Amino acid sequence: MTDSNPLPAEQQARRLLEHASLTRRLANAPFEVLSGGHANRSWRVRDEQHAWCVRLNSIDAECLGVSRVSECRLLAMLGEAGLSPRVLHCDAESGILVTQFIEGAHWTRESAIQPENLSRLAGYLRRLHALPARPGMAAVDFSRQADRLLRLLAPGVVPEALESASRLVFGRLGQREVSVVCHNDVHRLNIVDQGCRIWLVDWEYGGLGDYLYDLASFLCYLQAGPQVCAALLSYYEGSQPRTTQRELDDACWAFDYVRWLWYEAQQDGLAALNAEERDEVAELEQRLLLSIPR
């Protein structure tokens, strides 16, 4: 439903749309709030021919490791390659992003782990990781992201056992000399399935990095078991494996650790978490402590 009482965020988005020639026609169109996403506000907005996704960025994104300038450049390249929705307008300074709205279904947990969909995702990721890097695209280093988030937290929030394990894991992963175009947040709800093809959306943490984090993020969100992990890795690498199971396990632990730090940073004053998110923070911490790598 369209909100008949626009919130300040919607009014701000409308003003920003009015100021850009390519989006002026959308400024007075009906806004339909899109759910999902913790830090940003998003709406579906229609003109005479198309539906668009209008996103107003969070002001806290930069301190959480997001580069909006890099995101704009990345989205332009991905749109040209047919791997993400077409960009109509991206203004890193004002924080407004307008992309084509992709109609499709999101995977359920059950459909996400089906062999056919694991194969489709692996094929998509291979195409993504084969793209050439462009100047101005940010490097995404999960170890540095962990350090950045740690600095936002009060002393004593992170158990010493987790800090110690993170140094071990990031030290091992840091020996991998891999730098390809990555999404870094492959949640099943960031996958839009149109039947004939799939799309990845929500690229704000995308950039140059280790492709293992794309596999790890998908698996971690699902809390996938060993069989699913092995299947996705096999579909991705084919008959010539380049990655050991320990490397994938390390990447999964590191991804969960950074995700837990991200939630703790929100909880420590950047934003209010709802009850479900608070439960997830507690579950993540327990899972990390119970699976400390050696």
Between CA 192 and CA 107 the distance in angstroms is 8
What is the tens place of the pLDDT at every residue in 13-54? 999 999 999 999 999 999 999 986 666 899 999 998 899 999
Which is the CATH superfamily of the domain at 8-100? Phosphorylase Kinase; domain 1 (3.30.200.20)
Out of 3.90.1200.10, 1.10.443.10, 3.40.50.880, 1.10.760.10, the CATH code matching 109-290 is 3.90.1200.10
Q: How far apart are CA 46 and CA 49, in angstroms?
A: 8
Report domain extents, the chain.
8-100, 109-290
- Residue 63: the pLDDT is 63
Q: Which amino acid, one-letter code, is at 184?
A: N
What pLDDT does residue 162 have? Answer: 97
> What pLDDT does residue 270 have?
53
Please give the structure tokens belonging to residue 283. 């579950």
Which residue shows structure tokens 């301190």?
A: 63
Per-residue pLDDT at 113:
97
Q: What per-residue confidence (pLDDT) applies to 4?
A: 44
Q: How far apart are CA 75 and CA 25, in angstroms?
A: 22
Q: What was the pLDDT predicted at 3?
A: 43
What distance, in Å, lies between the first and last C-alpha atoms of the chain?
A: 51
**Ordered mean pLDDT values, 10 residues apiece, the chain (294 residues):** 59 95 95 80 92 86 75 93 94 93 96 98 97 90 94 92 97 95 96 96 94 98 95 90 91 97 77 79 94 92
Distances (CA, A) of 159 to 165, 174, 279: 10, 22, 18
Question: Residues with Cβ < 8 Å from 174, sequence gap 6 or more?
Answer: 143
pLDDT of residue 48: 87
CA geometry: angle 16, 21, 201, nearest 5 deg: 65
Give ∠ CA 36-37-43 in degrees, rounded to 5.
70
Predicted pLDDT of residue 134: 86
